[in-house]
Structures are given as C-alpha cells and as structure tokens.
C-alpha cells in the first residue's frame, strides 16, 4: 500500500475574502451544477456535527437559534431543523420580516413551519424581551444572523439581540462568522457576537484571523461542504495560513552527514551601549534555529561583554572609537564580516546615531546576500526608502506597527486598522518581503502571496521578542530556505516557541529569553511530527 509522507498529505490552508467566497459559491452552483440548497444543507449538517461533538446535547437541553434574512439565516433554519429532529428542544428567533426571506432560506423556513419547529419573529423591543426570556433557559445559542458579507454597522433590534446574547452565560456557536464581524478585516461593526465556537465553510475568512474578529470567533472549525477541491486556486486566492502539520512539513531534512558549514553562516550586526541584549538574542536565535555558524558584529568597546555572554556565537569587533556605537569607519569591518556569510541580520539595538545610517546606506549597494532588516535598521532606512532598491539580493523587513509608521508615513492607528493592505502595498512598492508584527502577524511577498500567522500569545509582547524573530528568520535563510519561506516558517516557529514558554511560565511573566530557550523544543516537536514520532 502506498504511504504518503507528511509533506505529501498536507496542504496550506487557503484564506479567502468574502468576495472570493461568493465567487467560489457561485462557481460551484453555475459551473458544477451544485444547487445552493445542497450547499446550505451540507453546511447545516456540518454545524450540527460540531455541536454534537462539542456539547453532546440531550433531550433535557434547549437550543436557541438566531437567524437573519439571508443565506446565513437559511443555514440557521436548517441547523434548527436537524437539531429539532434529534429530539432536542429548539426555538428559532428570526430577525427579519417574513416577506423578506426568500430563495433557499425561504425553502428552509417553509420546511421548519411544516415540521412545527417553534418560530418567532423579532420586530420590536417586545420581541427582543421575549428573546431574552428564552435565552434564560437556553443551553446553547446558534448565531446565524449575519454572514461574512456584512458591510454596515449593526443597529436596532439586531444590536439589542446581540447584546442580550453577549450578556448571557450561554455558549454560542456562530454559523460561518460571528454576527457583527467584518469578514474582510475582522473589525467589529458596532457590536458583534462573542462566540465560543465558529463553524465556517470551505475556507477560513480573513476576518476570522485578524483581530478583533479572531477574539470573537472562539475556536474555529473549517468544514467541507462539497465545494470543488480547486475552488480557491481557480479564483486566484493567494492568502494562506498554516497548522502544525503544514508548518512541520515545511521543515527541511538535516542530512546525517551534514557539518556546521552545511547549515549556513549568519552574520549579525547589532547592539550598542545599553542594548547588548538585542544583539545577544538575535545571534543566539539564529544559532538555535539550526544555523551552523553565527558571527556577531558588535561595536568594539562592547565586544568583551558579548564574548563573556555568548559561548557558541563568534564575535567580531567593529570600530567604534570607544563610543559603544557603530561608526562610519566600521564599514570595511562589516563588509569583511559578511564576505563569507549566507545572510546578514542587521538592526537590533544599533541605536539612533547617524553613523549607523551611513554604514547601512553603504552596505546596501555593496553586497548581494539576503538581508533581514529589523528594529533600528528599519528606523534608519525610513530616512530614505529608495535605498532598498540598491540592494541586489533579497530583503526581509520585520517591522512592528510603530516602525511601519515611520517607513510609510502612516499613523500607527491606520496600520493597526489595515495591516494587510499596508504590508502588501509596501512589499509591492519596495520588492521586499514584509513581515508586519502584531497579534496576527502577516507576511507579504511582492507577488501578492500573503500569510496569516496564528501561533503566539500576548506574553510575547515583551522587549527582545522581535530580536529573537529576526535571528530565527536569518537562521532559516542560512539553511537554504527562501526569504518568504523563512519569514513564514520563522513567524510560526517563533509563535509556537512563545506558546511553549507561556505553558511553562505563564504569559504575564514571560521574557524574550524564555522564547529563545523554548525554540529548540518547538523545533524538536515539529521535526518529531514531520517524522511521525510525535509524543506531545
């Protein structure tokens, strides 16, 4: 019997926008002849499967279904029917006028009526009050008011109903997306359902992965509803996310006959007085991510500190005239440092001195290896973005929103509000791979490919965490991963190491060094999964 490797079995999980999902549904109906009512029925059955698996309801329980007028409401009506036919008490509250319900949703409404499923229409405050009374005796709420295409603020009885649900200590399963969440960007449209679980169809939507939508989604279940397998590719979807299996499959085998030179050479230029920790974290992360040799270029007057601190990383003094900060005269030292390197990581803790800018400006026109640019390196390059075009090799930029604001001239609020659009535009303008850090880190390739990272936690919002990420990405590039691949895998591994550190220490007390220490454990678990020897 043919046995598939992990790499053969897994696929990247493609992530769609609401408009892409509409096109996918339309293609299934028009080109493949799959009736919309069939897709709706399949969706409802999958929602019920999740409900049965998670909650194991019995005849003693009661489910309250909130349904809107569109296809999402039709899904909810079909869910109510299947739950009702399993002998569980169900009450459906329709937030719509009966005459406004049409198409496949109307078909499901008519079936529910004939089966005598209890139906109530919510038109005014008295109806909302009745809903509140029903919720008091509910075991579970199914939210099917709005789908992924919501584009205007939630108001009136809709907002009142959602507020009632959020105020009740009753778990909620959202159909496709929590009502009130924008499926494109995850924004809350005035008010939104806070779901315990969300069951979405075919593909995750961007609004599930971007905050605050990710917080409102709860546990996300992506279920098939008989869409053609090539649906997302056929409509040109380029966004994706990874689960553990898919990330593990990206890892390259380490040949048993390999030596330290076979796993790549990383040059790191980092650090200044008061910021030697940034240099240490970035250099050690490159080594901990699997690189064979790492050399840290550090201002000469700080070299002794780093030599004492770092045992496995080599150090190279860079001329600084005793200032503890990189000087223009150090350019030749830096060029000598990188001549045998596969990748240069530059920026962490370099400081604000104009001399650093001059060194960076001259480096970009003189070498052709991959560069990972972070922290102060980004702050300096923001003085003249055109310098990025001087570099003939690949560039990976890893800004947080504040650094991205300096690079683009936008406000931090604008960047946090539109992280995908901001990062994609800057990547296309500069030709660089852009990793925009955040609660959901996004990685953009100039050709339009987009990755959403879902590992990590708020404990990683600590000084030095980004320096560890810089080192990981550089370490992967040194081992032969492409820049975009290294950034994607680096973001995943960095976040997973952070999750392991949080398991050990809790999120409140975590420091960047904990992420660094957890890094080999994260890689070990991923390699074990890759080879089928996972014990976790």
pLDDT band, very low/low/confident/very high, at 255 (cuts 50, 70, 90): confident
Two structure tokens written together for 260: 């330290």
The class (CATH top level) of 36-237 is alpha beta
Two structure tokens written together for 407: 């690079």
Say whether pLDDT at 451 is over 70. Answer: yes
Give pLDDT tens digits for 145-201: 999 999 999 999 999 999 999 999 999 999 999 999 999 999 999 999 999 999 999
Confirm if 174 and 193 have CB atoms less than 8 A apart. yes
What DSSP assignment string belongs to 145-212?
Answer: S--TT--S---HHHHHHHHHHHHSS--EEEESS-TTB-TTT--B-S-----SEEEEESS-BHHHHSTT
Tell me what pLDDT residue 9 has. 37
Whose tokens are 């970035």? That residue is 282
Tell me what pLDDT residue 391 has. 95
Q: Provide mean pLDDT across the span 301-329.
A: 97
Check: pTM over 0.75? Answer yes or no: yes
Containing 93, the helix (H) or strand (E) segment is strand 89-94
Burial environment of residue 506 by CB neighbours within 10 A (0 to 12, 13 to 18, 19 or more): exposed
Burial environment of residue 516 by CB neighbours within 10 A (0 to 12, 13 to 18, 19 or more): buried
Confirm if 395 and 433 have CB atoms less than 8 A apart. yes
Give pLDDT tens digits for 213-233: 999 999 999 999 999 999 999
Give pLDDT tens digits for 194-207: 999 999 999 999 99
Phi, psi at 353, each rounded to 5°: -55, 140
Residue 108 CA to chain centroid, in angstroms? Answer: 36
Say whether pLDDT at 438 is over 90. Answer: yes
Give pLDDT tens digits for 342-364: 999 999 999 999 999 999 999 99
H-only helix segments in 440-535? 465-478, 483-505, 512-531
Two structure tokens written together for 327: 């000087």
What DSSP assignment string belongs to 267-326?
Answer: EEE---TT-HHHHHHHHHHHHHTT-SEEEEEEEGGGHHHHHHH-SSSEEEEE--TTSSS-
d(CA 381, CA 396): 13
Confirm if 181 and 213 have CB atoms less than 8 A apart. yes
Say whether pLDDT at 95 is over 50. Answer: yes
Coil/strand/helix, residue 504: helix
Two structure tokens written together for 119: 């139906």
Q: How far is CA 211 from CA 185, 207, 469, in A?
A: 8, 8, 21
Give pLDDT tens digits for 360-380: 999 998 999 999 999 999 999
Query: Could you tell me the residue ranges of all domains in the chain?
Result: 36-237, 255-531
Report the DSSP pairing between strands 13-14 and 239-241.
antiparallel
Q: Provide mean pLDDT across the span 511-524.
A: 98
Angle at the Cα of 26 from the Cα atoms of 24 and 27, rounded to 5 degrees = 65
Least-confidence region, from 239-253, 303-317, 368-382, 519-533 = 519-533
Say whether pLDDT at 104 is over 60. Answer: yes
Report the DSSP pairing between strands 442-444 and 450-452.
antiparallel
Q: How far is CA 270 from CA 310, 345, 531, in A?
A: 14, 8, 36
Cβ-Cβ contacts under 8 Å for 83 (sequence gap 6 or more): 48, 51, 57, 63, 65, 90
Q: How far is CA 179 from CA 12, 76, 137, 454, in A?
A: 27, 12, 22, 22
For domain 255-531, say whether CATH 3.40.1190.20 is its number.
yes
Say whether pLDDT at 427 is over 60. Answer: yes
pLDDT band, very low/low/confident/very high, at 459 (cuts 50, 70, 90): very high
Q: What percent of the chain stands above pLDDT 70?
A: 97
């Amino acid at each position: 019997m043919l046995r598939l490797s992990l790499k053969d079995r897994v696929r990247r999980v493609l992530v769609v926008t609401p408009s892409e999902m509409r096109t996918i549904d339309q293609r299934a109906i028009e080109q493949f002849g799959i009736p919309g009512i069939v897709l709706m029925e399949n969706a409802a059955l999958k929602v019920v499967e999740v409900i049965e698996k998670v909650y194991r309801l019995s005849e003693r329980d009661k489910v309250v279904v909130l349904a809107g007028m569109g296809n999402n409401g039709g899904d909810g009506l079909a869910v109510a029917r299947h739950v009702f036919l399993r002998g569980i008490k169900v009450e459906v509250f329709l937030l719509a006028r009966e005459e406004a319900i049409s198409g496949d949703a109307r078909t499901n409404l008519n079936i529910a009526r004939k089966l005598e499923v209890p139906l109530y229409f919510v038109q005014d405050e008295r109806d909302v009050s009745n809903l509140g009374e029903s919720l008091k005796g509910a075991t579970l709420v199914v939210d099917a008011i709005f789908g992924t295409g919501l584009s205007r603020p939630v108001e009136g009885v809709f907002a009142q109903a959602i507020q009632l649900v959020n105020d009740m200590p009753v778990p909620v399963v959202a159909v496709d997306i929590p009502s009130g969440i924008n499926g494109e960007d995850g924004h809350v449209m005035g008010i939104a359902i806070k779901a315990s679980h969300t069951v979405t169809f075919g593909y995750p939507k961007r609004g599930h992965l971007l905050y605050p939508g990710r917080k409102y989604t709860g546990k996300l279940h992506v279920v098939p509803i008989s869409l053609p397998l090539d649906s997302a590719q056929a409509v040109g979807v380029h966004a994706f996310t990874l689960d553990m299996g898919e990330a593990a499959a990206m890892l390259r085998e380490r040949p048993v006959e390999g030596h330290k030179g076979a796993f790549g050479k990383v040059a790191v230029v980092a650090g200044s007085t008061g910021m030697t920790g940034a240099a240490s974290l970035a250099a050690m992360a490159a080594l901990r991510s699997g690189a064979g040799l790492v050399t840290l270029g550090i201002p000469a007057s700080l070299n002794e500190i780093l030599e004492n601190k770092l045992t496995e990383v080599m150090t190279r003094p860079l001329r600084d005239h005793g200032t503890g900060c990189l000087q223009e005269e150090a350019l030749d030292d830096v060029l000598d440092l990188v001549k045998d390197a596969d990748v240069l990581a530059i920026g962490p803790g370099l400081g604000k001195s104009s001399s650093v800018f001059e060194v960076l400006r001259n480096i970009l026109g003189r070498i052709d290896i991959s560069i990972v640019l972070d922290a102060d390196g980004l702050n300096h390059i923001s003085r003249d973005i055109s310098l990025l075009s001087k570099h003939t090799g690949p560039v990976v930029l890893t800004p947080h929103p504040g650094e991205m604001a300096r690079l683009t001239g936008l406000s931090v609020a604008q960047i946090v509000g539109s992280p995908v659009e901001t990062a994609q535009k800057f990547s296309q303008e500069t030709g660089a791979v852009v990793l925009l850090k955040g609660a959901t880190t996004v990685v953009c390739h100039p050709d339009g490919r987009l990755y959403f990272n879902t590992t990590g936690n708020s404990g990683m919002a600590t000084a030095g965490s980004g320096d560890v990420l810089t080192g990981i990405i550089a370490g992967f590039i040194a081992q032969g991963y492409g820049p975009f691949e290294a950034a994607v895998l680096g973001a995943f591994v960095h976040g997973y190491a952070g999750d392991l550190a949080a398991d050990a220490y809790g999120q409140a007390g975590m420091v960047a060094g904990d992420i660094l220490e957890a890094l080999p454990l994260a890689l070990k678990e991923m390699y074990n999964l890759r080879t089928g020897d996972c014990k976790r």
